[in-house]
Amino acid sequence: MEKAAVEATDVVKRYGAATAVDGLSFTARRGAVTALLGPNGAGKTSTIEICEGFRFADSGRVRVLGLDPVADASALKPRVGVMPQLGGVPTGARAGEWLRLMSAFHARPIPPETLLERLGLQSAAATPFRRLSGGQQQRLSLAAAVIGRPELVFLDEPTAGLDPQARRTTWELVGELRDAGVGVVLTTHYMEEAERLADHVVIIDRGRVVADGSTDELTAAQQELRFDAAPGLDTEDLLAALPTASRIEAVPGEPGSALSRYVIVTEAPGGLGPEFIATVTTWCAANGILPEGLRVQRRTLEDVFLELTGRELRES
Amino acid sequence: MTQTHSSTSLFAPAPQAAPMHRMVAAQAAMELRIMLRNGEQLLLTMVIPILLLAGFSLTSVLDTGQGARVDFLAPGILALAVMSTAFTGQAIGTGFERRYGVLKRLGATPLPRFGLLAAKTLAVLGVELLQIALLCGTAFLLGWAPSGGAVGVLYAALLILLATAAFSALALLMAGTLRAEATLAAANLVYVLLLGLGGVVFPVDRFPAAVQPVLEALPTTALAGGLRSVLTEGAAPALLPVLVLAAWTAAGALLASRFFKWD
């Protein structure tokens, strides 16, 4: 059995003059969660729809479970579960009825009642799709994606618009899929989701992969020191006081705050140890600066994304 | 990791498509339930045809020529009923399914496209059977006495099947190319126009001679005229309505298969 669930190589997709996917490559494993992470319009949905066989790539090569998503579509369909961004459920279909239909397409489906219960949808079973809340619609769509016991699922923004409770339910289900050996490829623009869920994160911006690896690899398991202070801090002078192989970034502070945020990372031996911090605070004291909210923390994917693209991931 | 539990997990992969007949039956049953639950569609497919049949049969508002009014009206209303389900209802339903991504979602299931078309056809035929039963029952209560015998019934069934194919092809052509809102407007407009011009309640020979050949070439006119000549006038089954409906089917299917967009 081939190991990779998805192998995409140099995929290009254009819509007229606009290039949505610009030479994108990634690999997703079975029994692992792969997150395609990026802002809206980065090309995540186009990429996933090419893998699903809904769209043709203009060039490049895609293999899903070792097969061609377009030429081998009929062989792949029973084996691949799909959760599109738009639910794709007839507005008049009832939740339970829709799941029973989806289960009728498969020889060994998960019982619809079991999934309704797992996803907290029993009370909505007789409700038409158009009267379900956005979160219920999302969960129904997720249930339909997994009901046929697929080897691989594509989840396009599976938790968009979910409340924290429903998001946790979805995360748990995704974790179970992975543990059962199912390959999961999902798109998200939630950093937290990628960090919590994904074994492998592919950061996409403007149709290209800007970084690719495990969360630890991407953040290089790096610590950072951050504090807030008045804008215009002499970062070069501070840097001169620090061990070599250190960097300082100045980024905007909290919304509504007049302060700037300063982020320091270092690859110096000893890292962000007590001595390093003492050096920073000593320099601050010598320059009459109060470093507010000084703390050492693990770098986040958000920091990595900002550093790689110069832009915030989250749209306000 | 809980890899050791994988064989007992609810989600352990075990993919396999269901047999084709089960998939098609399930999809057809779903389509049928959705059609019968939709109030606007029932208005077009059941309520309006029955009101027209009973209203014009019981009053003398409409001049239907010689003979019992119900004898003239019943075949035309049957044609209207077939058109309302196979064309109007199907165009609007499929148009919105396309708009809401339903066709695309179904395209990701093991149900192949021809299975979906087969299911839609079965559901349309199911609604038509219900319509025919209701309308014929109403017509008999109003004193309908169709002629034509067994041959007439067989010919009527053939025309209705052919018309269903023609209307379905045209419905899919419209739903697969226009926006859902445009399909909604256009399909309703066509319903009203063909109700007036398609020989449903107004005899075609009342229209100016110059437009009559055009009206005769419409699928609704071919169906209504063919049914009427055999069931009302007791004439031998004619070939022309069959040819007209076959031509619409061929043209509609060709264009729909060429231009239908699934999303």
The secondary structure element, H or E, covering residue A74 is helix A73-76
- Map residue A30 onto helix, strand or coil: coil
Question: Residues of B near A (CB-CB distance < 8 A)?
Answer: 1-3, 5-6, 9-19, 22-23, 25-27, 30, 33-34, 37-38, 96-97, 100-102, 104-112, 263
Same fold, A4-216 and A223-298: no
* Contact call for residues B22 and B106 (beta carbons, < 8 A): no
A260-266 and A223-229 beta bridge pairing: antiparallel
The beta-carbon neighbor of B104 closest among A79, A84, A177 is A84
Q: SS3 sequence, chain B?
A: CCHHHHHHCCCCCCCCECCHHHHHHHHHHHHHHHHHHCHHHHHHHHHHHHHHHHHHHHCCCCCCCCCCHHHHHHHHHHHHHHHHHHHHHHHHHHHHHHHCCHHHHHHCCCCCHHHHHHHHHHHHHHHHHHHHHHHHHHHHHCCCCCCCHHHHHHHHHHHHHHHHHHHHHHHHHHHCCCCHHHHHHHHHHHHHHHHHHCCCCCCHHHCCCCCHHHHHCCHHHHHHHHHHHHHCCCCCCCCHHHHHHHHHHHHHHHHHHHHCCCC
The beta-carbon neighbor of B109 closest among A102, A107, A108 is A102
Chain B residues near residue A111 by CB distance under 8 angstroms? none
Q: Does A162 touch chain B (CB under 8 A)?
A: no
Instruction: Report pTM.
Output: 0.86
Tens-level pLDDT at each residue, chain A (316 residues): 557 999 999 999 999 999 999 999 999 999 999 999 988 889 999 999 999 999 999 999 999 999 999 999 999 999 999 999 888 999 999 999 999 999 999 999 999 999 999 999 999 999 999 999 999 999 999 999 999 999 999 999 999 888 888 999 999 999 999 999 999 999 998 888 888 899 999 999 999 999 899 888 887 767 889 899 988 889 999 999 998 888 898 887 777 888 988 989 888 887 888 899 999 999 999 999 999 999 988 877 877 777 777 666 554 3
Distance in angstroms (rounded) separating the CA atoms of residues B87 and B165:
9
- Rounded to a whole number of angstroms, the distance from the CA of A37 to the nearest CA of chain B is 23
Chain A residue closest in CA terms to B102 = A88
> A223-298 is classed in which CATH architecture?
2-Layer Sandwich (3.30)
> What residues contact residue B263 under an 8 Å CB cut-off, 6+ apart?
A54, B98, B101, B103, B104
Q: Give the distance, in angstroms, between the CA of residue A198 and the centroid of all CA atoms in the same chain.
A: 7
Note whether A149 contacts B11, CB cutoff 8 Å.
yes
Token digits of residue B151: 């041959």
Chain A residues near residue B184 by CB distance under 8 angstroms? none
Q: What is the DSSP letter of A97?
A: H
Top residue of A1, A54, A106, A118 to mutate, by most chain B CBs within 10 Å, is A106
A183-188 and A152-156 beta bridge pairing: parallel
Domain boundaries, chain A: 4-216, 223-298
Chain A residue closest in CA terms to B10 = A110
Q: Rounding to the nearest 10 degrees, give the CA dihedral for residues A166, A170, A176, A180.
A: 150
- Write down the pLDDT at residue A250: 85
Tens-place pLDDT, residues B6-45: 457 899 999 999 999 999 999 999 999 999 999 999 999 9
* Contact call for residues A252 and A261 (beta carbons, < 8 A): yes
- Phi, psi at residue A67, to the nearest 5°? -115, 165
* ipTM, 2 dp: 0.90
- Rounded to a whole number of angstroms, the distance from the CA of A97 to the nearest CA of chain B is 8
Q: Does A199 touch chain B (CB under 8 A)?
A: no
Q: Which residue has the tokens 């599109």?
A: A84
Q: Which residue has the tokens 């349309």?
A: B124
The beta-carbon neighbor of A182 closest among B13, B25, B109 is B13
- Rounded to a whole number of angstroms, the distance from the CA of A287 to the nearest CA of chain B is 51
Q: Does A80 touch chain B (CB under 8 A)?
A: yes
Token digits of residue A83: 């959760």
User: Minimal CA–CA distance to B77: which of B190, B199, B176?
Assistant: B199
Distance in angstroms (rounded) separating the CA atoms of residues A200 and A178:
12
Q: Which residue has the tokens 């606009």?
A: A18
Chain B residue closest in CA terms to A31 = B3
Note whether A31 contacts B3, CB cutoff 8 Å.
yes
Chain B residue closest in CA terms to A74 = B110
Q: Does A181 touch chain B (CB under 8 A)?
A: yes
Tens-place pLDDT, residues B181-227: 999 999 999 999 999 999 999 999 999 999 999 999 999 999 999 99
What separation in angstroms does the CA of A95 have from each of A90, A136, A212, B17, B22? 10, 9, 37, 22, 20
* Contact call for residues A50 and A76 (beta carbons, < 8 A): no
Distance in angstroms (rounded) separating the CA atoms of residues B75 and B63:
16
* Contact call for residues A174 and A155 (beta carbons, < 8 A): yes
Token digits of residue B20: 């084709």
Q: Which residue has the higher pLDDT, A306 or B139?
A: B139
Q: Does A236 touch chain B (CB under 8 A)?
A: no
Token digits of residue B166: 């023609």
* Contact call for residues B45 and B188 (beta carbons, < 8 A): no
Note whether A179 contacts B30, CB cutoff 8 Å.
no
**Fold (CATH) for A4-216:** Rossmann fold (3.40.50)
Q: Where are the beta strands (DSSP E) in A77-222?
A: 80-83, 152-156, 183-188, 200-205, 208-213
Token digits of residue B88: 């109007």
Q: Does A111 touch chain B (CB under 8 A)?
A: no
